[in-house]
Amino acid sequence: MKSSEKSLQHRLRSGDERAFEWVYSEYKEEFLAFSASYRLNSEELIDVYQDAVIALFQNFVEKQLELEKSSVKTYLFGIGKHLILKAAKQNSKLIRLDATQEEVVEIEIDEHDESERSQQLAAAFKKIGDKCREVLELFYYRGFSIKEIVEATDYKDENTVKSHKSRCMKGLREKIKSS
């Protein structure tokens, strides 16, 4: 990790407001460009960005977060992506499932959608355990890498997270098939 990245993280952990302001201004335009393809208007995207930067700063200060294998920018964009999806889900629900390791399937569940498949998927997601839901949400909704999930949770290593995620996906598929 570059010394400038380490220095930035140290300043954020110490509550340095100038570091907070620097992060806000440094990544704003790039984040807005990154998030333009989502179904939110520009005002909503700016609100999301502000919330993401505040959440990042709070995590550094309150949790004394140390990112060893990802950057502040990557972490910020992960939070932002999670918040964008959360905002987009106010009118509908979006659930992403691994169909295979190479393919990701996104299924949008509208509250008024009466399709049996959508109902099965939503019900199965609600029935999986809290730890499974946490791992799947971090990976699919927040866009965390396996390494970032290890850093953000109490899992001991990447292999444990991979195994747990795989078991959770298998369980989710079985719940869908059985319903």
- Write out pLDDT tens, residues 134-146: 888 788 767 788 8
CB-CB contact of 97 with 172 (8 Å): yes
Residue 30: the pLDDT is 94
- Write out pLDDT tens, residues 159-168: 999 999 989 8
- Write out pLDDT tens, residues 32-63: 998 887 777 888 899 999 999 999 999 999 98
Residue 85: the pLDDT is 81
Residue 175: the pLDDT is 82
- Higher-pLDDT residue of 2 and 131 is 131
pTM above 0.85, yes or no: no
**Domain range summary for the chain, segments of one domain joined by +:** 1-88, 91-179
Look at residue 105 and tell me whether its pLDDT is greater than 60: no
Fold of 1-88: Rna Polymerase Sigma Factor; Chain: A (1.10.1740)
- Write out pLDDT tens, residues 12-21: 999 999 999 9
Fold of 91-179: Arc Repressor Mutant, subunit A (1.10.10)
